[in-house]
Every structure is written in C-alpha cells, then in structure tokens.
Structure 1
Amino acid sequence: MGSDRQAEVSRSAPSWMMLPALLMAAPAVAASAPSVSLQIPAGRLGDAVAALAGQAGVSVSVPDAALWARPVPALNGRMTVRDAVRRLATAAGGRAVALPGDGWRIVAAAPAAAARPAPQRAPAAAPPPAPAPESGSDIIVTASKRDARLGDYPATVNMIDGRDLAFGGEGGTDSILARLASLSSTHLGAGRNKLFIRGIADSSFTGPTQATVGQYFGDVRLSYNAPDPDLKLYDIAQVEVLEGPNGTLYGAGSLGGIIRVVRNAPRPGMLEGALSAGASLTQHGDPGADIGGMINLPMADDNMALRLVGYGVTEGGYIDNPLLDRKNVNRTDTYGGRATLRIAPGDGWTIDIGATYQDIHGADSQYADRDGPRLTRSTRVDQGFDGSYALGDLVVTKDWDDLRLVSSTGIARQKLGERYDATVPDGPADDGTAINRLWPLLAVRVAGVAEGVPMAFTQHNNTRFFSHETRLSRPTRDGFGWVVGASYLDNRAKLRRSLGPDGLAVPLTGVINRIREYTAYGEASVEVLRDLTFTAGGRVTHSRLSGEGVDIALPYLAPENQDEGTALQLAAANARLRAARGETNVSPSLALSAQLMPDLVFFLRYQEGFRPGGLAIEDQFVRRFKGDQVKTWESGFRHGGPGDAFMLATSFSYTRWQDIQADYIDATGLPTTANIGDGRIYSIAANAGWRPFAGLGIDAAIIYNDSKVSDPAPAITLGRLSQLPNVAEWSARGGVDYRAILTDDLDLRVGANLRYVGRSRLGVGPILGEAQGDYVDTALSVRIGRPDLGVTLTLTNLADAVGNRFALGTPFLINRIDQITPLRPRTVRLGLDAHF
C-alpha cells in the first residue's frame, strides 16, 4: 500500500486511535542508528511522516487529524531518525514520543489538545496555524557536496520543491524558468537551448564552447558542451540552483552557476505508484496531451527497490506558414523514461544504478516573422529538429557516523539534428544577408541552382560524454566541515554541416573537439569565532584538448583569383590543421558567513570559474579559440528560509570575465566562435517570501544585470553594441500559493505566477544586434482533490500575449526579415493525478 493512501486512513481516524502511517516490513532503525539520507519535501505533516517512513524504514503514526494536516518544512540531507521525527513534530506544534520496538508517534504538544476531537472545518478554511520552524535548521543544501545547512551556506541558492514543479502538469526546464528571475534561456526550441544565470551569457548558438551553466542529475553531470537536454521533470524531489561561479566544487563550465535536479530515490520495502495525464487546448493552435507514470517496486527482502518512470508529451503547434499553405506547423513530441535500481547491502552502503532516455521531435521551428500576420512566417522548407539524450549512471555511497563517501559515474550520448531555411532570396543581392555571402561557395560546387529554389542548411551535433567523481565529506558540525574529491571527464563532440537543395546537399566544413580533464579539489569551513565561519577551497584542473576539421570545404576564390593549385593548397592546409595542447587551471574560493541574528545571515564570497578552449569554423576554415575565466565577488544577506513566515535574500555581485568565448556571424553568414575580449558584469538581486497565515504564501523576486564587453578584441568590431547577449537588464517575478482544506476528503490549492523578462539583445556585434525580451508571462493553476487523487485546471499566458523570447529562427534571414519567437498562446490544460 502506498504512503498517500495510508496517510488518508490515518488522517480520518478518531483521536483515541493510533494507526501507523506506514509500517515497513524491514526492521525499524533505532534512534541511535547512524544518520540516513532524507529527501522529504515541504507539505503536510502526514505526507512528511509517510515519506520519512519509506525512506528510513521506521513506523511513524499521527493520531490527531488536525495535527496531521499542519504544514511542515522540507527535510533534506543526512540526520538521525530521532532528529528527523523531532524536527517534524516541532514544526507542526507537536512532540515526538518514542514507542517500543523503535517506532514513533507524534502528538499535540499539550496532552489536553491530543485528547480533544478534531475541530470541524468550514469550507475554504485554511489549515490550522503552525509555529514557524527554525530558520535554515531544517533546510540542507545538498549541492554543497557536504550537506551544509542553508543558514550556514555562504552564497546565493534557490531551492524548488518537486511537488511545486509538478503542480499544473510536469514540464521541463521551462518549469524552472517560471520560478526564477535569475535564470534565462535562448528559447530556440526544446532540447536546443542554452541556459544562463545572473548575466553570465556568451552567445545565442550551440557551438563548440562549453556551457556556462553546469547541469546535474543528482551527483552525475548531464553534459559538457551540448545544449540543455530539457529532460521532463517527472517524479522529481527538488531542484537546487547555485548562482555564480562554482569552479572549486564543480570545475569547468560553471561560470554562471549550477542546476542540480534531484530525482526521487527508489524506496526499499514500499510498493507505490503515481499517474498523471492531461489534455490541453491552445488558442490559435492545435490541441496537445501528456501522460506520465511512476512505479516503485520493492525487491529482495527490502534490500532492493526498482523505480520506473515513463512519459509522453505532445505540444500542439501554433505557427502558420502561408507560403506553403500549412497551419500549426511547429508541433513537438517528446517521450522518455528512466529506471533506477537501488541496492542496500547494509553497513551503510547504498548502490544506485540508473538509466535515462529521452527523444524530442520538432516538426518545424517555433519562430515567426515580426512584421507579418500574427504567429505566421513564410519559409520554403520545413525547419524541423530531432534530439535524443541517453544517460547511464552508477552512484555508490558509504555512510559512517561523521563521514560520507560518494562515487558517481555517468556515460551520456546526446544527438541533435537541425534544419534551417537557406533559400537564396529573389531579387538583388544584399551583402548584409547571410545566404548571399555564402552563395558563391555553393555556386561553385552545385551547378544549375537558381534563386528561389528551396534550400536547407543542416547541422548535426553528436556528443559523447563520460564523467567520474569520488569524494569524501564531513558535514559541518561543531563548527567544522570539509570535502575532498577527484574527478575525470572525457567529452567528444562532432559537428557536421551541409547546404543545398534536398538530395543535392553539399558538405561544409565541420569540426571535432575532444577534451579530457583531471581534477582534484577540496573545501573546508571553520567557525573561527562564535557565529563567524570562514570557508576556503581550491581546485586544480589539468585539461588535454584536441580537435580537427572534418569535411573540409574547398575555399571559394573570385574569378580573377581562381587558381586550382592555390585552392587545393589552401584546402590541404586547412585539412592538416590540428589542435592538441594541455592547460592547467587553479580555481580558488574564499567565503565568510556571519550569523548576525538567529535568523539573519551575512555572507561575503570570492569564487572563480573557467572554460578551456577548442576549435571552431570561420569562413570554412578551422580556427582555434582560447579558454576564458571569470572572477566574482559577491555579498548578501539572507533572513529566514523557505517555509518561514518571512524570508528575504539580497545579493550584490561584481564579475570580471577574461577572454570571453562568444559566437558571432562570420563572412559566410554562419555562426562561429572566437574570443571577443574582456567584460564586466554587475548584478543586484532580491528575493522575498511572506506567509501571512498558514496556507497562504506570497513570493517575489527582482534582478538587475549590467553587462558589458569593456575591452573588445581588436578583430571584433562591437561599436556601441557591447552588451552581452540574452540576459535582460531587468527581470522580475511574483507568485501566490494558497492551500485550504474544504472537507475531510477534499483539499484546494491555487497557484498563480507572473514573470517579466526585460529587454536584451540577440548576440555580440552589429549583425546580431536584434532586440528581444520585454514581455510578461503568466500562469494560473487550481487543484481540487485528496493527496492520492486530484483534478487540476491550468491556464498559461492568460493575456494571450505574443512577446519575443528569442529574435532568431534562421541565421540566413538576418538583416532581411526580422524574426521573433513568440510565447505559446493562451493554453488551458485539464489534468488528473493519482497516487497509490
């Protein structure tokens, strides 16, 4: 029997009865046993003790129906069962009572209150109030790699509960974007986007450069220089977003920050499952549908469990192409799943073996003509895309009383194929149009192709990625904590391109980049004075880089300069270009945190991050680009934490960015990568939350970014267009979450959010100076039901705004046709979720 159904039975029991919330077949863990790893989301006490019972293998009961419904904060990290039960009891205004046989019961703090029958609740009444939990004491930042308390963590971190991500229907990265003002995306399409945090943005295109944001599935890295795989967030425990460089703990590719998605772990001894399904209608477009499910299967006398997740999503198109007389061309279909096997052989050992797969098919691109009719564009070819992502991972952990060993290994394969309309425009040539600059090269190699003939540019990225890390840590206790580790990764990315009519495509110059990284790192925190903690760390990374050109294209020479021998010599020289070198980077970090008041923390932090270099294609030649580096100073205040009656977090950061790797348009009109110079970024952010009474939460956030290429490279002409791309100067969001108990069998939850994304620019340099952003996105969700069964109605883009999330669809029409990527029009979804 699953936890939610048993929770429902216990909630409705009379106050004089004591029914267990969940009785495990495995022996209960004694209160004096070693600490266990817990991932318990915020919510009602009844749901929390059910999750605790499943994860720790204990029996916990709550006989009071009123106490059962009280809200409690999340519990994340390692702690003893005794501590976990007592923290939940205290947060709910109760007390924990130990029972014979190592069981537990949570009762009201006053004995008289436990003997009273549960009060009758009027419709729409809020849950009974609960005392505010200790600020930061129950919230663990697992992305710190040593389970630091939020109150002790000297940096900016955002934590999103997995249940909140699922509310209104499970999504992908867009679900995280809707909840954070500091996170931005290129919005090119599912599985094709680049993500940026706090103004650290390099370019609009997915090329050979490493990402500026590191993405992790638990302890395993998802990718290196590939785009965001946009995995659907089904059955997720929580998401942690660390802002700013994290070079010491996470190494290369963490210039802007880290996104860490924590999956719900298999639960030995528990049979449970979940199902969600929905149907949607999009105004001006086609309908869509989604379905997903999870089942947790206990195995081998409660020493093993298998957790399976599967899903399929189809999103109706809403862009019309009148030139081809087609409507709603941009349908996107996604399906995928994952499996995790947990083996718990005993003596503190845990082994997790996982497999993840997702496939995305886009029938066409989602951009429109800025000056055309609403949600339309006129192109001559389909611009579909296909992406697939596969990951196999192995995570082994060993726990002692004060130490934890984690060894994680991942093997990933990511493929992305894209098509762009590259039809040669009718009429006189325009040197500012990309295809007119590329046309002479094609004309030499494909005879008989005239203006107006439908042509496509195709690009295929194939990435293979291996990563391994082993670390040993001690959580910060008694004023001291540390982590040491070593890691190795191997990434190989192959980019191939072609251009021409269907069936007559000509290969263009491509490139292969490979990198191997060997690292060692360590970080420690010491309470040097009462309530004053000093943190220092460092990472040494040695990178071995290599690369070469593939499908070398013959360079075009003007008729008066044509010489077959010269052309062949140039092509041969290009083909021989290889890059193989090594570089070593040291990434130090320093931080101070001061507990000014019981619920007020001040922190000051210095951190560095870097990316190694590689090879890129420019004018059909293979060119080298150097690595880049950021150095960031950050300070801030944090009052309270998630779940508190009032929470406020502010931060100010200053970043110097040296040898910025960025994309721009080369002489043939195609994207290329180069070091464009040095830059600086100022960022100011504030995030607040208020709970005026139990059941109602209000939150708001605002961020200001001032970014500039302050010292451009001599070869890059920026003029006044020196703002870094894709990050708005101003972004803000606000949200409201209301929960109430309607009857003994029905709960109500209402959530609404609004997000404003300010103006930004498409890229670096005058050719990519298109404006984008300056739009408002909205959403409203209402759920009615029980914990184990509910119906949800969701509305997105309530104003049916068009907006412009990204000013690019195809680079071949830049300076000829203005392009926009509109918001999905107003969409309504009716969903059903069930748990057992």
Structure 2
Amino acid sequence: MTFGAAAVATGLTLAMTVAAPAEAQSLSIDLRAGSVRDQVTTLGRLGGISVVVTDPGLWSKPVPRLRGRMSAVVALRLIAARCGGEVEAIDNLLYRIVPRRTPRPRPTPPRPNPQPEAAKTPEAPPPDIIVIGSKRDLPFGQTAGQVIRVSGQDLELGGAGGTGRLTSRLTTIASTSLGAGRNKLFIRGIADSSFSGPSQATVGQYFGDLRLGYNAPDPDLRLADLAAVEVLAGPQGTLYGAGSMGGLIRLVPNPVELDRTGGSVAIGASATAHGAPGFDTQAVLNLPVVTDRLGIRLVATAVEDGGYIDKPLLGRRNVNTTRIAGGRGTLHLNIADGWSAELIGIAQRIRGADSQYADRDGPFLTRRTRVVEGFGNDFGQGQFVLDGRIGDIRLRSSTGLTALDLTERYDATTPNDPATLFVQTNRTRMIANETRAWVTHANGSGWLLGLSYTGNRTRLLRSFVLPGQRYPLPGVSNHLHELTAYGEASVRLTPAILLTSGARVSRSVLSGAAEDARVQDVPIVSATVATRHEWSVLPSASLLVDLRGGASAFLRYQQGFRPGGLAVDDDYVRQFDSDRVSTIEVGYRFGRAARDPFALTLTIAHTDWRNIQADFLDSGNLPSTANIGNGDVWTVEASGAIRIAKGWRMEGAVSLNDSSVNEGDPNDLPLQGAPGDQGGVSARLRPIPNIADITARIGVSYEAALGDRSRLKVDGWVRYIGLSRLGLGPVLGDEQGNYADSAVTARIGRDRFGVTVGVSNILDARGNRFAMGTPFVTGKEQITPIRPRTFRVGLDTAF
C-alpha cells in the first residue's frame, strides 16, 4: 500500500472533526472550593476558553466546590451564579462574567423643591482580566508586552497545517523557505542567517512547558487539536532562558476529558495549479479509562502536499511533493485532590521528495539539475508533567526527552563535472527539566521561582556523494549542559500601576569537537576537543499602567542570549562567543480583537544585539558559525480590529523593521555564504538578512446562523511581504520577497458535521519567498516560488 493510500485509510478509519465548541463539549469538572479566580483559571485551562471578569469584587469572591459532568460554559455559568454574576458570550472561546443585573425600580414623581445631590466622582472602569496560559497564569490585561493568542479552531480551519498556518496570520513572524522541517523562524527582526549550523535558534518553540528543540530548525509540527498558540514577541530570557532572543511560540494542547468518550475527524483533498493533487486528514480520540481519574487523548495527522516544481533534465514533474505523518498521545492521571500527572508522547515524520526551489532565469517552476535533493525530518519527544498545589502555591514540574534527525541533500554539481550531492545530517538529542512554584493574586501581584536544566548534544555529519562514490567530510559535535535559577515578582504600586521585575542566572558548560572523518582509514582531521564554561545573568523589568476607557500602556526591558560554542571552519575548530540582545519597548493597547467593537495595539521596540552569532559557509561550502559584529534593530508593530457590521469583522496588522550590522572587523569576518571566497564584509551593512522591511496583513471574517443549528463561517486575508535579502555580502545579496499572498476559507454546517471549501493564492501570484535552494555555486540564480493557486474541499465530523 502506498503512503497516500495508507494515510487516507487511516484517516477514514480514525479521523475525527475539528473539536466542538466549549458550549457543546462535556467535561469532567472537579474544581476545589476557593475564589472565583481559582476556579475560572482552572476551568480556562481545562476547557480551552478565556474569561473576562469586569468586577474585581467578583474575582476574589469565595465559591464552593464544583463537581460533575458538564460543558465548560455550563460550569462557568454555575460559578457566576454562585458569586452573584452572570455570563455573557463574546465568541465561542471568550466569555465575560459581569455582576447580575437587577431590575430598575419604577421612577417616582419628584418631590417639591428637590435638593441637588452631591456630585459623584465617576470611577474608572476596572481593567479587563483575561485568563491565558503563562508561567504565572497571568491574565492578558496584567501582562506587559506583546502577547498574541491564536485559537486552535482558527488554525484548524482549512485542514491540518503547520507553522506556515501561523505565519500567514501574523506579521511579527518570519521564516526561511527550505521546506517543512528545515526552516528557521524569526520574530521581530532577530534573524541570524539562512543556514542551519551549530548556533542555537533565536526563537524558542514550546509544547506546553518544554522546548521542542535547541539548535535544530523548526520541527513544523501539525497544529492539530490545540486550544491555542501563544506568541510572545521580544526577548523572553528571564522566564525561558537561552534561545528566546526574538520571542517565543508556545503550543497549548486541548486537555484530556476524563468522563467522555468522543473524538473528531477531518479529511480534505486539494488540487494545485501547475502541480500535483494532495490530501490531509486529522483524527482525535478521547477515551476515559477510569472515569474522573484516568484518561487518554490521541491525535493523528497525515498530509501530502502535492509538488509543483519540474526537473526537465531528469524527465520528472512535480518533484517537490512532501509527505508528513505524525501524532501524539496524552495519558492524564488525577492522583489526589489538586494533584495530577501526565505522560505525553509526540512523533512526526517528514519526507520531501525534492527541494522546492527553481531557477530564477529559467522557465516558470523548473530547475535544471541532474540530482534528487530530497530531505527528511524525524522528530520525537516524551514528557512527564506533575502539577499540584500546596495551599495558595501552585507547583509544576516538567521533564522531557527529545530526538530530532534531519537529513538534507543539496546539488553540489559544478560545470563539466559529474552530478554531485552534498549530504548533511543533523542529529540532536536533548533532555530538559523545569520545576517552578508561583502565586498570583487577583490584582496582578505575585511571585514566581523556578529551576531548569537542559542537556543537549548535536552531531553534524557531512559527505559528498558522486555516482558510485562517497567522500566523508569532517563533522562537528556540540554538547551543552545548562543549569538555571530564575524568579519574577510583581507589585501593585497603585490601583493603576503594576511593576514587575525578575532575573535569571545560568551556568553553561559547552564542549565541541571535530568529528573524525576517514577515507580508507586515513583521518582527514583529528578529533580536536575544546571545553568552556559561561555564566549569564538576564535581568528584566516592566511597568504596566491602566488608562481610562479600558486602555493600557507598558514599558518593558528584557534581555536574551545564546551561549557560545565550537564550530568547524575548514579543517580546524573555531570558537564563537555568546551573543546577547537587550530590548526596550513601549506599547499601547485598547480593547481585544475577538471581543470588542474596536481594538488597537501599538508597539515600538529597539534591540541592541551584541556579538551576533551567524551561520555561514566556509571555503568548502560547509556550514560554520562565527561572531560577525554588533547590530541595531528597530521595530514598529501595529494591529487592530473593528466590527464593521453584524457578523462582519475586519482585522489588520503591519510590522516595520529597520536594522543594521556594524562594528565588525572586515579582516576577521567571513563573507557569509560566499563559497570559495574568504573576503570580508563591510564595517556597516543594512539590513539584517531575511527580514522584510514591511509586512502587512488585512483579514475579513463573517459568521452567521443558518436556520436553527447550522452556521456559516468565512475567513479571508491578504498578506504582503516586503523586500529582504538572503544574506550579508555581495554574493548573497539577491533580493527576495516583495509579493502578496491571499486565501479564503468557508465552512458551512453544524457543530458535529460541516463542509469546508477554500482557495489559497487566489490570484495565482508569482512571488519569491526565499532566494536559496543550494548553497553551492551552480551558475544559476535561485528562487523559491510561492505555492500556485490551490483549491481544497474538506469534511469534518464529531462524535
């Protein structure tokens, strides 16, 4: 049976629909007696909903224990009734508890000669409090910084997608375009290079509380069965440590339901202009083993993205088909009152039949190469999570093991020589633990203390492959052991001002070696080993001011870093130092996009980047890493939403970036990506690679009821990506970007069954997403075209 047939059979047998809304899902509810804040926070995590409480008095009121089988919304209404409030639905994931309205008394005739009443000073409305997932369960309205939350239901509309589904919705995230499981992500202009070398990523990616990787590319997990994805822009060094200099992406899964057997199936088929067809399927199964105590939740996905690049020299069409299969399982156990444990397993397999770049000067969607440049990514992670409470103190400990194997093939053929492949394998193994305790009060004050450990080992193996021959090359291995202590505290200085400060102290032990490559038992380079120790202190501070009318402003200072390491440059080991960013940002926000008739967010940030680590190519075209100088990054980001009519909503966002790299010594810096050239870069270069000067997006959505139970939902958007350059220096100065992409998706049906129709790249635009397919000189300029117009039809159902 072929991969496609097997995956379709799996999808038809197991697959289920997009999860039903909170109103319809039955949950096993057991909320201990406490304050409204305690119960709403726990319910928000369990049911994947957000709650706004407009009265601080309600927020702190005591409520009795709530237990039983019900939906999250029913439970929320019971909580509201017990504290003297009532629930208002803003959308299917966002609700508001307000004081219960009492009938107004009938007016009485005025008395003769009434005395004027004393004038009353109007009170400023209390700030909105939104329950979101964070290390302190800190509500959105009490968070200083740019936090973006995208619901899992929005990401699943149109079938199971990966990180590209997230980048198409947000302007603050940029990505390279080498292919699924090979890309590097950047947030807010913090981009090091186009290549995957020994340096750590600039964006932290997390599933729950544990990172998905250290110095490997984006694993591109399918965004299936998630409550939400949270994006924290700007450095997050105090809470998340190394590798979060640009920001953080956190996947929040839907919880296991302990009293309901159910699931969902979603399947779809697609057709791409100038290319091959594709399919996608997603399955979710929730199964209680012991009611109210032990349960399991399983998720399975399979995707085939049809190719659209032709290779006439090989007589092959649509060579860049990509197949992705994966899933995860969660076993949840309620140990005792307030204590629980979870075992989580995640696995995904990606196979790209060939790369997705084309010749810039050749026929449309063709590449004149004589080799097959396939790639593969195998990802696996296991987690153990212990969660509980001692009095008012919350405790959570997460431990995980991660493995990622990435194999890439590049065309290294030179004119008049035999067809040659360069094969690179990156093998990463990581163990990590984070244990923290925290207390958060209703007014936003509180504290957090935590410890974490990360152990990571990466081996980079390389070789040239010719017909009937293989030439191994020196590789490199890097080891890291990092132990960290961190803390944060918030104090309410006045009813309108919240001050937060924190710090993180880390000790890193780093070692690296050149792997001993041999040809006929003759060593190419000896296994040189070096070790170093580093201490790092990352302070942070923020000030949040609540303004009138529900608006707020913030001032935030934060640092982030990446530890140094060792890299192989030609036939010797080179040491590169740690780099660090310091960001100061100021922001203003009014309203919430998913709730209020009008919402606006504006952020201005400046980042000072010292000792920039950048991956480049040495004289043999092999990835290496060096410090290339210092940089400045200015970012202006604005987003807003407006309700234009009943059921209609418009959203818009724009990100502006201005950056430069400077102060490097031209005699010491490598010319990034210049095969066979050891020249230097100029002392000042603009801009930082791969970051567009402007990224803008406009989206329009419409939702309406059709009859008693059917609904129609339409979501469409247009996104413009401005100009950027592939790398530093003249060789990789090729322009990329300057194109617009678009999509529209519509779903009609009931909660338990629906039909979805969508089209992406509506105008069949021709844009260059990325200007590199192979780093080796082939005599041809390269582009990575956006996927041509693609139609998709899908079905989803729930049980």
2:9: which partner in 1?
A: none
SS at match of 1:175: helix
SS of residue in 1 equivalent to 2:313: coil
**Equivalent pair of 1:706/1:729 in contact (CA under 8 Å):** yes
Amino acid at match of 1:780: V
Selected match of 1:688 from 630, 637, 640: 640
User: In the aligned structure 2, how far is the partner of 1:6 from the partner of 1:341?
Assistant: 19
Q: 1:657 aligns with which of 580, 604, 609?
A: 609
Partner of 2:57: none
Is 2:89 aligned against 1:92?
yes
* Equivalent position amino acid for 2:599 in 1: M
**Following the alignment from structure 2 to structure 1, what is the Cα–Cα distance between the partners of residues 168 and 90?**
33
Report if the CA contact (8 A) 2:203-2:246 is conserved: yes
> In structure 1, what residue type is equivalent to 2:654?
I
The one-letter code sitting in structure 1 at the alignment partner of 2:705 is: I
Give the direction of change, closer, same or farther, for the CA distance of 1:57–1:292 in structure 2 (3 Å limit).
farther
**Equivalence for 2:94:** none
Distance 1:182 1:296 in 2: 34
Equivalent in the alignment of 1:827: 790
Instruction: State the secondary structure of the residue aligned to 1:594.
Output: strand
Change (3 A) 1:29 1:80: farther
1:777: how far off?
A: 0.9
Match of 2:5 in 1: none
Instruction: Assess, with a 3 A threshold, how the Cα gap between structure 1 residues 423 and 487 changes in structure 2: closer, same or farther.
Output: same
1:411 aligns with 2:408: no
Instruction: Give the 3-state SS of the residue equivalent to 1:487 in structure 2.
Output: strand
Cross-structure match for 1:596 = 547
Instruction: Measure the CA separation in 2 of the matches of 1:61 and 1:466.
Output: 37
Separation in structure 2 between the aligned mates of residue 347 and residue 548 of structure 1, nearest angstrom:
50
Name the residue aligned to 1:173: 163
CA distance in 2, matches of 1:670, 1:580: 23
Which structure 2 residues correspond to residues 13-92 of structure 1 after superposition, within 5 A? 35=39, 36-39=42-45, 40-41=47-48, 57-58=67-68, 82-83=79-80, 89-92=86-89
Distance 1:6 1:29 in 2: 27
Indicate the residue corresponding to 1:632 in structure 2: 583
Aligned to 2:111: none
TM-superposed deviation, 1:399: 2.6
Give, in angstroms, the shift of residue 799 of structure 1: 1.0
For 2:306 and 2:349, the matched residues in 1 are separated by 17
Residue 527 (structure 1) shift: 0.8
CA distance in 2, matches of 1:135, 1:459: 57
For structure 2, the 5+ residue unaligned runs are 1-15, 53-64, 92-96, 105-124, 670-679
1:64-213 alignment, distance < 5 Å: 82-83=79-80, 89-92=86-89, 137-143=128-134, 145-213=135-203
**TM score, norm. by length of structure 1:** 0.82
For residue 677 of structure 2, what is the aligned residue in structure 1? none
Does the CA contact (< 8 Å) of 2:482 and 2:509 recur in 1?
yes
Distance (whole Å) between structure 2 residues aligned to residue 217 and residue 182 of structure 1:
20
DSSP-derived class of the 1:811 partner = coil
> How far is the alpha carbon of 1:689 from its aligned partner?
1.1
Aligned residues: 728
Q: Does 1:793 align with 2:757?
A: yes
Report deviation, 1:507: 0.4
* Percent identity of paired positions between Structure 1 and Structure 2: 46
Give the superposition deviation at 1:311: 1.2
Contact kept, 8 Å, 1:353 with 1:393, in 2: the verdict is: yes
Q: Is the 8 A contact 2:734 2:771 kept in 1?
A: yes
Q: Which amino acid aligns with 1:578?
A: V
Mapped partners of 2:208, 2:146: distance in 1: 19
Give the Cα separation in 1 of the matches to 2:71 and 2:775.
62
Q: Which one of the candidate residues 646, 650, 668 is aligned to 2:598?
A: 646
Q: Which amino acid aligns with 2:79?
A: R
**Following TM superposition, by how much is the alpha carbon of 1:672 offset from its aligned partner in structure 2, in angstroms?**
2.1
Segments of structure 1 that go 5 or more residues without pairing to the other structure are: 12-20, 46-54, 69-74, 95-104, 113-133, 427-450, 555-567
- Whether the aligned pair in 2 keeps the contact of 1:507 and 1:551 (CA below 8 Å) is no
Confirm whether residue 328 of structure 1 aligns to residue 279 of structure 2. no
**CA drift at 1:551:** 3.2
Alpha-carbon distance in structure 1 between the residues aligned to 2:478 and 2:790: 42
Residue 725 of structure 1: which of 684, 689, 710 is its match?
689
Partner SS, residue 812 of structure 1? coil
- Aligned amino acid, residue 670 of structure 1: L
Residues 663 and 763 of structure 1 are in contact (CA less than 8 Å); yes or no, is this contact kept in structure 2?
A: no
Q: Give deviations 1:395-452, integer Å, cap 9, x for gaps.
A: 11103553210100110000001111111213xxxxxxxxxxxxxxxxxxxxxxxx2x
Contact 1:675–1:713 (8 Å) recurs in 2 = no
Cα pair 1:794 1:829 within 8 Å, conserved: yes
Cα shift at 1:6? 13
Q: Distance in 2 between matches of 1:135 and 1:484?
A: 29
Question: Is the partner of 1:265 in helix, strand or coil?
Answer: coil
Whether contact under 8 Å (1:665, 1:767) holds in the other structure is no
Paired residues of 1:135 and 1:644 also in contact (CA < 8 A):
no
- Verify the 8 A CA contact 2:635 2:655 in the aligned structure 1: yes
Q: Aligned with 2:547: secondary structure?
A: strand
By how many angstroms is 1:140 displaced? 2.7
Q: What secondary structure sits across from 2:767 in the alignment?
A: coil
The SS at the match of 2:768 is coil
**1:673 alignment partner, one of 611, 621, 625:** 625
Question: Is the 1:93–1:108 contact (alpha carbons within 8 Å) kept by the matching residues of 2?
Answer: no
| Residue from 774, 777, 793 that aligns with 2:738 | 774
Residue 120 of structure 2 corresponds to: none
> Which of residues 692, 709, 717 is equivalent to 1:753?
717
Distance 1:306 1:179 in 2: 31
**Aligned-partner Cα distance in 1 for 2:410–2:425:** 12
Of residues 196, 213, 216 in structure 2, which corresponds to 1:223? 213
Are 2:573 and 1:622 aligned? yes
1:318 to 1:108, Cα distance in 2 relative to 1, 3 A:
farther
1:357-407 CA-partner distances (Å, limit 9, x unpaired)? 000000000000011111000101000001100000011110355321010
Cα distance in 2 between the residues matched to 1:87 and 1:691: 30
Structure 1 contact 202–724 (Cα < 8 Å) conserved:
yes
TM superposition shift of 1:667: 1.8
Alpha-carbon distance in 2 for matches of 1:151, 1:25: 29
Counterpart code for 1:753: W
Deviates more, 1:454-463 or 1:474-483: 474-483
Contact 2:705-2:712 within 8 A present in 1 as well: yes
Q: Does 1:532 align with 2:497?
A: yes
Give the secondary-structure state (helix, strand or coil) at the position aligned to 1:805: strand
* 1:809 maps to 2:760: no
Question: Does the Cα contact within 8 Å between 2:237 and 2:244 map onto a contact in 1?
Answer: yes
**Structure-1 residue corresponding to 2:113:** none
SS of the residue corresponding to residue 239 of structure 2 reads helix
Separation (CA, whole Å) in 1 of partners of 2:637 and 2:260: 43
On the 8 A contact 1:349/1:397 being kept in 2, the answer is yes
Shift of 1:713: 3.3
- Which amino acid in 2 is paired with 1:38? G
Tell me, in whole angstroms, the C-alpha distance in 2 between the residues paired with 1:672 and 1:819. 22
Paired AA for residue 90 in structure 1: V
Q: In structure 1, how many angstroms separate the alpha carbons of the residues matched to 2:612 and 2:28?
A: 57
The answer on whether the counterparts of 1:476 and 1:525 sit within 8 Å (CA) in structure 2 is no
Q: Does 1:582 align with 2:533?
A: yes
Q: From the superposition, tell whether residues 42 and 419 of structure 1 become closer, same or farther in structure 2 (CA, over 3 Å).
A: same
On the 8 A contact 1:200/1:212 being kept in 2, the answer is yes
- Matched to 1:734, the amino acid is I
Q: Give the alignment partner of residue 464 of structure 2, picking from 493, 499, 520.
A: 499
Q: CA deviation at 1:7?
A: 8.8
Distance 1:109 1:702 in 2: 40
1:379 maps to 2:369:
yes
**8 A Cα contact 1:636 1:651, kept in partner:** yes
Q: Return the alpha-carbon distance in structure 1 between the equivalents of residues 28 and 244 of structure 2.
A: 43
